[in-house]
Amino acid sequence: EGEARARIAYQLAQIGGINSRLRVDLLITLLMSVWGDSDLAQLNPFLESQRETVIGLAIAVMCRTNRISQGTNCLRIAEDLLASLQQAKAQQADAGEEMITANALKLKATSLATALAAERHFCAPGDTDRTFDFDPRFLVFEFTYGLLLRKSQVEMVRKFMQTASQGGSMCRQMIMGAGKTTVVGPLLALLLADGEHLVMQVCPTALLEMTRNVMRERFSALVCRPIYTFHFERYAEVTPHLLGKLRRASESRAIVVATPTSIKSFQLKLVEIIHALDANVAAGAKADEGTRGISKALRQAAGYLGLSRRGSISDLILEEAQVENMKQQANTIVQILAIFKAGTLIVDEIDLVLHPLKSELNWPLGVKEPLDFTRSESGNGLRWDLPFHLLDGVFYAAEGPQSLTTEITESRESRTVLEEIAKVVAEGIEQRTIQAVPHFVLLSKPFYHRRLKMWLARWLLLWLRERRLTTISDQDTLDYLMLGNRANEIAVKTVKEKCSDNHVKMLNLGHDWLRAFLPFVLGKIDRVTFGLLSPQNLARALSLDPRMPRSRRLTAVPFVGKDVPSRASEFSHPDVTIGLTVLA
C-alpha cells in the first residue's frame, strides 16, 4: 500500500509539472550515456522492473523508423528508375544515345540494388545467436538523420577512435561525396566529445561557414550540442574570459570550429609576447649602461635607411603595466594550449590546410633590420647588384645582348665568357636539361653544376675585379666561388687573412648564389610558381588586406597556380626574393 501511494503521488507530481515526464527524445539520449541506467532510475524510480523493456522498446522504435526511412529511399530510387525505363522505351534514339541511356539505367539499377541490400555495419554478433553487440551512439546517429552508415564509414570512424584513444594521429583520404564533412566529421565529434576533452574541427577559411552550418544542423535536433567558432587574430588580447569559454565548451561537449589562421595566430601570439618580454629585458640592460634613447646621428641614419625610430632602444622598453599584462596573457595562453593538447583536433581538407603555400600565415616579428650590403664601403646595394650581374649572363645566353644591364661586356674577356655561357645553354636546350619556352628554365641541376656553374663563376669574377678584389689570385677566387670553405687550403687561408670584410662577404655571397640560389630560382616558372603582382592582383589583395606589407607590392611572391598569386605568402629568404624579383 505504501508503494502504491508513492507511485500515485509521483504520477500526480508529473501531472502537476513537479516531476519530469520521460519523453522519447530524453530516453534515446540516455541510451548514449554511460550513466543512462542510474539517470533513468532517478527520473522514474518505479521503472525498476520494466527498465530493460523500456530501453529495448526505444531501440526497436529507432530500428523500425530507420527501416521505414531506408524503405522510403528505396521507393524513391525505384520510381526514378521506372520513370527512366518508360522514357527510354518511348523515345527513338541512335546507337550512341542508346549506349548513354543504357549506362544511366545500369547506374540507377545498381543504386537500387545497393540500397535494397544495405546492412547495419556497426552491429556484431553477441554471446548468443539472438543477440547483437553495438554502440548505441551509432544507432542514434542513424535514427536522427534517417540514414544507414556505410561499412567504410563505420570502419574509418572506429579506426579513428582507436587511434585517438591511444594518443596517436591518423590521416585518411575520402573521395568527394563519401560523407566526409556531413557524416564522418559530425559522428567523430559526437563520439570524441566526452565532457573532459575539447573537440575542435579545423577547416580552410572558404569552408568555415559550410562546416559550421553542417555541425549546427547535425546537433540541433535530437542530440543537441553547442557549436562555437574560435576566431583569433594578431591584435586580439588573450583574456581569462576566453579560457573560461573553452573550459565550458569542453565540459558541455561542445564542438569548436576554427580556421588554420586562427590556430596559428593564437600559438604565434605566445611567441610574440615572449619575444617582446625578452627584448624588454635586453633593452633595459642596455639602457642601464647609458645607451637609453638614440643619438641624433643614429636617428638620421635610421631615417636614411627607412627605419624611422622603430629601431631605437627606448621603443623596446615596456611599462610595468604592459609587462604585467603580457605575463598574464602568456600564462592564459599556456593554460589554453594545455586544453588544446589534451583535446582532439579534426582536420578537414588536410592536404590544403597543411600545404606550405596555400595555408601559410605571414607573421612578421620584431624590428625590421636592413639587409647586410645595403650600404658598404665598396658600394651601395651590392646584395642586389651581384645577382643582377649573374642573371645578366643567363639572359645574354637566352635573349641576346639587348637584355644586358652591365657595362663589363666591353672587354674581350667578358665577351668570350658570355659566348661560352651561350654555347652551354644551347647545349642544355638540345639535351633538354634547359627549357627555352616560355623563358629560360633550368630542368637539371646536375647539368648546371657540371657545365654551367664554372662559366658563371668566371662571369662573376669580372664583377669582383670591378670591386677591386686584388688580394687573391683569379684561380684561387674561382676555386673559392665554386667550393667555398672546401676550396684549396691556400685560397681559404688567403680569404681569411688578406681579404677585407666586404670582399669576404662578396665571395661568400657569390659562392651561395652559384651553389644554391641560382639553380633554385632558375628552375621556377614566371606567373606559375612566382611572379610580381599585376595591377589587378594588387587591387584585389589591397581590398582584402589594406595593411598588406610593401614587400608584397614590390617584390616577387609565390604563386599557387597559373596567374594565381598566394593570398598572403612571401619568400622567406631575402636572396631568393631578390633573384625571383629580378627574373620576374
In the prediction, which pLDDT does 291 show?
Answer: 43
Residue 105 within any structural domain of the chain: yes
β-pairing verdict for 434-435 and 441-442: antiparallel
Among 14-18, 196-200, 531-535, which stretch is predicted with the lowest mean pLDDT?
14-18
Among 1-5, 249-253, 476-480, which stretch is predicted with the lowest mean pLDDT?
1-5
In the prediction, which pLDDT does 88 show?
Answer: 83
Mean pLDDT across the stretch 556-575? 90
Confidence of residue 124 (pLDDT cuts 50, 70, 90): confident
3-state secondary structure of 88: helix
Of 514, 536, 569, the domain-final residue? 514
**Distance between CA 514 and CA 505 in Å, rounded?**
14
Mean pLDDT across the stretch 440-444? 96
Is residue 486 domain-shared with residue 402, that is, in the same domain? yes
Mean pLDDT across the stretch 131-159? 89
Residue 39 within any structural domain of the chain: yes
pLDDT of 315 higher than 60: no
Structural domain tally of the chain?
3
Is residue 494 domain-shared with residue 564, that is, in the same domain? no
In the prediction, which pLDDT does 478 show?
Answer: 96
Is residue 469 domain-shared with residue 546, that is, in the same domain? no
User: What percentage of the chain reaches a pLDDT higher than 90?
Assistant: 53
In the prediction, which pLDDT does 289 show?
Answer: 52
In the prediction, which pLDDT does 189 show?
Answer: 94
Residue 288 within any structural domain of the chain: no
Range of the domain at 483: 384-431+445-514
Is residue 533 domain-shared with residue 504, that is, in the same domain? no
Q: Which of 467, 497, 493 is nearest to 479 (CA)?
A: 493
In the prediction, which pLDDT does 286 show?
Answer: 56
Is residue 540 domain-shared with residue 471, that is, in the same domain? no
Q: Which of 390, 433, 439, 393 is nearest to 416 (CA)?
A: 393
Is residue 494 domain-shared with residue 537, that is, in the same domain? no
pLDDT of 311 higher than 50: no
In the prediction, which pLDDT does 433 show?
Answer: 96
Which string of DSSP letters, residue by residue, matches 500-540? -HHHHHHHHHHHHIIIIIHHHHHT--BTTTEEPPPHHHHHH
Number of other CB atoms surrounding residue 207 within 10 Å: 17
pLDDT of 159 higher than 50: yes
Among 158-172, 200-214, 260-274, 402-416, which stretch is predicted with the lowest mean pLDDT?
402-416
189 within 8 A of 199, measured Cβ to Cβ: yes
Q: Which residue has the higher pLDDT, 177 or 120?
A: 120
In the prediction, which pLDDT does 558 show?
Answer: 93
User: What percentage of the chain reaches a pLDDT higher than 70?
Assistant: 92
Residue 90 within any structural domain of the chain: yes
Which string of DSSP letters, residue by residue, matches 283-345? HHHHIIIII-S--HHHHHHHHHTT-TTTT-HHHHPPPHHHHHHHHHHHHHHHHHHHHHHHSEE
Is residue 501 domain-shared with residue 572, that is, in the same domain? no
Render pLDDT for 395-414 as a digit per residue (tens, 0 to 9): 999 888 877 877 776 788 99
Mean pLDDT across the stretch 186-201? 93
Is residue 503 domain-shared with residue 410, that is, in the same domain? yes
**Dihedral of alpha carbons 458, 459, 465, 467, sign:** negative
Q: Which residue has the higher pLDDT, 96 or 423?
A: 423
Render pLDDT for 229-271 as a digit per residue (tens, 0 to 9): 999 988 899 999 999 999 999 999 999 999 999 999 999 999 9
Residue 312 within any structural domain of the chain: no
Q: Mutual orientation of helices 501-512 and 382-399 as an angle, nearest 10°?
A: 40
Among 115-124, 185-194, 376-385, 403-412, which stretch is predicted with the lowest mean pLDDT?
403-412
Render pLDDT for 58-117 as a digit per residue (tens, 0 to 9): 889 999 998 999 999 999 999 999 998 888 887 766 666 778 888 889 999 999 998 899
Of 514, 544, 569, the domain-final residue? 514
Q: How much of the chain is in helix, strand and coil states, percent to nearest 5?
A: 65, 5, 30
Residue 291 within any structural domain of the chain: no
Residue 112 within any structural domain of the chain: yes
Task: Name, of 106-110, 191-195, 451-455, the range with top average pLDDT.
Answer: 451-455
Of 87, 118, 149, the domain-final residue? 118
**Distance between CA 204 and CA 457 in Å, rounded?**
46
In the prediction, which pLDDT does 296 show?
Answer: 46
In the prediction, which pLDDT does 580 show?
Answer: 97
pLDDT of 308 higher than 90: no
Confidence of residue 123 (pLDDT cuts 50, 70, 90): confident
**Distance between CA 391 and CA 387 in Å, rounded?**
6
Is residue 547 domain-shared with residue 503, that is, in the same domain? no
Mean pLDDT across the stretch 300-312? 42
Confidence of residue 287 (pLDDT cuts 50, 70, 90): low
Task: Name, of 241-255, 350-364, 533-547, the range with top average pLDDT.
Answer: 241-255
Which string of DSSP letters, residue by residue, matches 154-184? HHHHHHHHHHHHTT--------TTSSIIIII
Mean pLDDT across the stretch 151-176? 91
Is residue 529 domain-shared with residue 425, that is, in the same domain? no
Is residue 495 domain-shared with residue 564, that is, in the same domain? no
Is residue 398 domain-shared with residue 475, that is, in the same domain? yes
Residue 202 within any structural domain of the chain: no
Among 178-187, 315-324, 345-354, 458-467, which stretch is predicted with the lowest mean pLDDT?
315-324
Mean pLDDT across the stretch 209-221? 91
In the prediction, which pLDDT does 475 show?
Answer: 94
pLDDT of 539 higher than 60: yes
Confidence of residue 293 (pLDDT cuts 50, 70, 90): very low
Number of other CB atoms surrounding residue 492 within 10 Å: 17
**Distance between CA 273 and CA 533 in Å, rounded?**
33
Mean pLDDT in the chain? 86
In the prediction, which pLDDT does 496 show?
Answer: 93
The three grid cell numbers given for residue 166, joined into one nine-digit string: 591511444
In the prediction, which pLDDT does 409 show?
Answer: 65
Q: Which residue has the higher pLDDT, 487 or 284?
A: 487
3-state secondary structure of 486: helix
Confidence of residue 345 (pLDDT cuts 50, 70, 90): very high
In the prediction, which pLDDT does 451 show?
Answer: 96
